[in-house]
Amino acid sequence: MQLTIDNVSKTYPNGTQALKDVSLTIPSGMFGLLGPNGAGKSTLMRTVATLQEPDTGSVHLGDINALEDQHALRKRLGYLPQEVGVYDNVTAETLLNHFATLKGIDSRSERRQVVDALLDRVNLTDARDQDLGGYSGGMKRRFGIAVALIGNPKLIIVDEPTAGLDPAERVRFLNLLSELGEDSVVILSTHIVADVRELCTQMAIIRGGEIIFEGEPETAIADLEGQIWRKTVTKDTLPGHEAEFDVLSTKLVAGRPVIRVHSDDQPHDSFEPAEPDLEDVYFTRMRNGRHPEPAAVAG
Ligand code: ADP
């Protein structure tokens, strides 16, 4: 199974061009769509989920043309939006059973089996009789996954997967997501680099409605080997460093700013080499846009 997005563009009625000729090929497994707020992630995901139409372009899941046969696409889709609207005074089991009916699982015994298996899968069996209003943020997200998984979807879209989760809930949720990717296309749409780093074998970066990178996180990190430099500075000298060097990011370590700089050579002997990571990839690509590779030197 593969999702193919070809030359998709979208301009909203107010003139905002949210997607500019986006093309992506997304294989089975976990795919990270990374970009800052306003980059066009939700617009692209809503288009793929057939919730809105693009101005131009096409979307195919395997041989299903998503824009011409929305019904076929929706039958194979599991969509987990950021806010899972839940009814507070209903138990997880009742609501899941209700959604399974809506998805067309008519037989009562089959529904019971599906609901049991899904509750087990997302580790909510013990909380099945509890009203959803009493669920924690993490439990609600896991319940959302159970809903998204009804009917064995081949395409699963998860918007901002870990927003609002505490660290323990986040780990549990990411582990659960990582089990989904085996025979489906799973797209995580996020602005959190760590979510992509921990889960995804393929990724794209979107900025201003354009895909500025598509590939493997590992390869992109390896490409930066020898080009990332680190230095502890002071708050006073930080602006000067930012003016002089290609500062990718600044982090406070024990109260002092540590900058990471992108440079082919050691920028100054006060810098030490650093191992590149996916955040360096993200910030380098965000800065350079479509042409991140330095020009090849002949000879
Ligand atoms: P992201 O999900 O990456 O934050 P969005 O797809 O939500 O990005 O938004 C992309 C751009 O389109 C932003 O500039 C946003 O303000 C604009 N936008 C999103 N939805 C609408 C809409 N319904 N009408 C007008 N502009 C919109």
Distances 102 to 38, 97, 125, 136, 147 between C-alpha atoms, Å: 33, 9, 21, 25, 11
The tens digit of pLDDT for each residue in 41-73 reads 999 999 999 999 999 999 999 999 999 999 999
Q: Specify the residue with its C-alpha closest to ligand 1, atom 22.
A: 12
Mean pLDDT of the chain: 90
Question: What's the CA-to-centroid distance between 54 and ligand 1, angstroms?
Answer: 13
Least confident segment among 49-53, 197-201, 235-239: 197-201
Give the highest mean pLDDT range of 89-103, 182-196, 263-277.
263-277
Amino acid letter, residue 185: V
The tens digit of pLDDT for each residue in 33-45 reads 999 999 999 999 9
Ligand 1 atom closest to the Cα of residue 189 is 2
Sole residue written with tokens 């797209």: 187
pLDDT of residue 7: 98
The tens digit of pLDDT for each residue in 160-182 reads 777 777 888 888 788 888 887 67
Count the Cβ atoms, other than its own, within 10 Å of residue 217: 23
Mean pLDDT calculated for residue range 88-101: 91
Least confident segment among 2-11, 82-91, 234-243: 82-91
Indicate the top mutation candidate among 16, 34, 51, 210 to test ligand 1's pocket, ranked by most ligand atoms within 8 A of CB. Answer: 16
Contact (Cβ atoms closer than 8 angstroms) between residue 279 and residue 193 = yes
pLDDT of residue 13: 97
The tens digit of pLDDT for each residue in 253-272 reads 999 999 999 999 999 999 99
pLDDT of residue 298: 39
pLDDT of residue 297: 42
Ligand 1 atom closest to the Cα of residue 14 is 25
pLDDT surpassing 60 at residue 293: no
Q: How far apart are CA 193 and CA 278, in angstroms?
A: 7
pLDDT surpassing 50 at residue 286: yes
Contact (Cβ atoms closer than 8 angstroms) between residue 61 and residue 6 = no
Alpha carbon of residue 297 to chain centroid = 36
The tens digit of pLDDT for each residue in 136-150 reads 888 888 898 888 889
Of 151, 217, 156, 152, the C-alpha closest to 3 is 156
pLDDT of residue 244: 95
pLDDT surpassing 50 at residue 291: no
Residues with CB under 6 A from ligand 1: 12, 14, 16, 18, 35, 37-43
pLDDT surpassing 90 at residue 211: yes
Ligand 1 atom closest to the Cα of residue 39 is 3
Residue 295 confidence class, pLDDT cut points 50, 70, 90: very low
Q: Specify the residue with its C-alpha closest to ligand 1, atom 20.
A: 43
Question: What's the CA-to-centroid distance between 287 and ligand 1, angstroms?
Answer: 21
Alpha helices in the chain (DSSP H): 41-48, 70-75, 92-102, 108-121, 137-149, 167-178, 193-199, 217-223, 238-244, 278-288
Q: Specify the residue with its C-alpha closest to ligand 1, atom 24.
A: 12
Q: How far apart are CA 184 and CA 153, in angstroms?
A: 7
Q: Specify the residue with its C-alpha closest to ligand 1, atom 13.
A: 38
Classify the phi-psi angles of 104: left when phi > 0, otherwise alpha if psi is within -120 to 50, otherwise beta. Answer: left
Q: Specify the residue with its C-alpha closest to ligand 1, atom 14.
A: 38
Q: What is the pTM of this model?
A: 0.87
Contact (Cβ atoms closer than 8 angstroms) between residue 121 and residue 149 = yes
State the distance between the two ends of the chain, measured CA to CA, in whole angstroms: 44
Least confident segment among 18-27, 49-58, 141-150, 288-297: 288-297
pLDDT surpassing 90 at residue 23: yes
pLDDT of residue 218: 94
pLDDT of residue 181: 66
Ligand 1 atom closest to the Cα of residue 44 is 6
Dihedral of alpha carbons 82, 87, 92, 96, sign = negative
Max CA separation in the chain (angstroms): 72
Percent pLDDT > 90 in the chain is: 70
